[in-house]
Structure 1
Amino acid sequence: MPRQNRVQPTGEILAHPARGLLMGNRGILHDDSGQLGHARWRHKAWVCCVTDFKNRKRPLMTPGAYTELFFHDEAVALAAGHRPCAECRRPDFRDYLQAVGHVGKVTEFDKALHAARAVPRVFGQRRHQADMSDLPEGTFFLTGAGVPNLIWQQAAHPFLPQGYQPATALPVGEVTVLTPTPSLNALRNGFQPQVRLRHA
């Protein structure tokens, strides 16, 4: 039975068997039986990591250890509010912060990113409205039917838990944006996320 550790662009954390390209960390979200509680974060340094680093191995959802979260790809991780890890993805971390335009301690940036992505107390995802013409490639938005879509290669790619569906035409006008503003700025300024377009 799959564990509840697969993060969606909408911020939901699902139990789904599909494997993720990248892993993330928001602190300890599970109990000793491996079940998630109500909380969706325990700190503000939400990172996005590779799944294989220095041959480190650890059992998933070990009691008292951080909850391993997984993402289909980096565009999903950015939409969910994560940034590249400074340890296992150092070059990407530097490129991301440079594209964002942040200088100084990363803890200050994490505070700003947290304010842009999260609704406190209800553990919800903060979203905003924008015109489609103002959004860079790598952004996630919601359709009227509530389906998250990735803007990539001048098309919209609907996303389901198992991966991307065949591309459709981009809509025109205002849409609900999932990717938080700091990451939108990184995308506008040339940060290239890892995108795994294999269709389900």
Structure 2
Amino acid sequence: MPLQNRINPEGEICTSPARGTLMGNRGCLHDDARQIVSRSKRDAWVTCLLTFKNRKRPVMSPRKYTELFFLDEATALAAGHRPCATCRRDRYDAFFAAWGVGNRNGAKVLAAEVDKQMKLDRAASQRLETASLADLPDGVIVKHKGTGTCYLLRSAKLHPWSFAGYGRAQAMSTVSGPFVILTPASTVKALQHGYRAQLHGSAT
């Protein structure tokens, strides 16, 4: 039976047999029976490679961090995660550079500062609503308020999201809002200033 360790674009911890392409970490969220008992145990929500330096252990081991899984990086960013500095160092450097340009006028930023702001941004109360998606960059994920469908924005098209992959793309002009922007505001600015989210193959 699948474990409860798959993350949707709203940051919820769900159950799905789909594995995804990235792993994540919010601290130890499970008990010894591998049941989720907390949504977060740390401010830094990161995304990691599925494999790194041949490190292996049973998933959701007792008193170890909870392995979380994402369809792709766009999903992880929407959920409020950012790249890990250890196993995804090149992505970490690129994200922090774009984040600093978009949010701090190009100033160098520290992980603690970014994590503090992203913690604030990923609160449901901070998510913005919009009727128009024209000004949002590729890689953002939005939720249609009427249907509840989540969409990836890419090349002026909407790609419906699921744990297994993206569905058939629709022209942005064919779907009317309003929408909720799931990707945190500070991350949207990083995407607007050069960061490119890695996408599941079904979107490309």
What is the TM-score when the length of structure 1 is the normalising length? 0.91
Alpha-carbon spacing, 1:112–1:16, altered in 2? closer, same or farther (3 Å): same
Corresponding position of 1:21: 21
Gapped regions of structure 2 (runs ≥ 5)? 101-106
Please say if residues 132 and 174 of structure 1, whose CA atoms lie closer than 8 Å, have aligned partners that are also in contact. Answer: no
Query: How do 1:112-151 residues align onto structure 2 when only pairs under 5 Å count?
Result: 112-118=117-123, 126-130=126-130, 131-143=132-144, 144-151=146-153
Amino acid at match of 1:132: L
Please say if residues 126 and 178 of structure 1, whose CA atoms lie closer than 8 Å, have aligned partners that are also in contact. Answer: no
Query: How do 1:51-200 residues align onto structure 2 when only pairs under 5 Å count?
Result: 51-101=50-100, 103-118=108-123, 126-130=126-130, 131-143=132-144, 144-170=146-172, 171=175, 174-198=178-202
Amino acid at match of 2:94: D
Large movers: runs of 4+ above 6 Å: none
1:148-171 per-position Cα deviation (integer Å, ceiling 9, x unaligned):
100012210011222211111214
In 1: Cα distance, 2:117 partner to 2:109 partner: 13
1:2-51 per-position Cα deviation (integer Å, ceiling 9, x unaligned):
000000002221111111100000011101000112x2101111001111
SS of residue in 2 equivalent to 1:164 = coil
1:55-108 per-position Cα deviation (integer Å, ceiling 9, x unaligned):
111110011001000000000000000000001011110100110115232111
SS of residue in 2 equivalent to 1:57 = coil
Please say if residues 4 and 35 of structure 1, whose CA atoms lie closer than 8 Å, have aligned partners that are also in contact. Answer: yes
In 1: Cα distance, 2:123 partner to 2:25 partner: 15
In 2: Cα distance, 1:23 partner to 1:126 partner: 25
Gapped regions of structure 1 (runs ≥ 5)? 120-124
More strand by share: 1
More helix by share: 2
RMSD across aligned C-alpha pairs, in angstroms? 1.5
Corresponding position of 1:122: none
SS of residue in 2 equivalent to 1:142 = strand
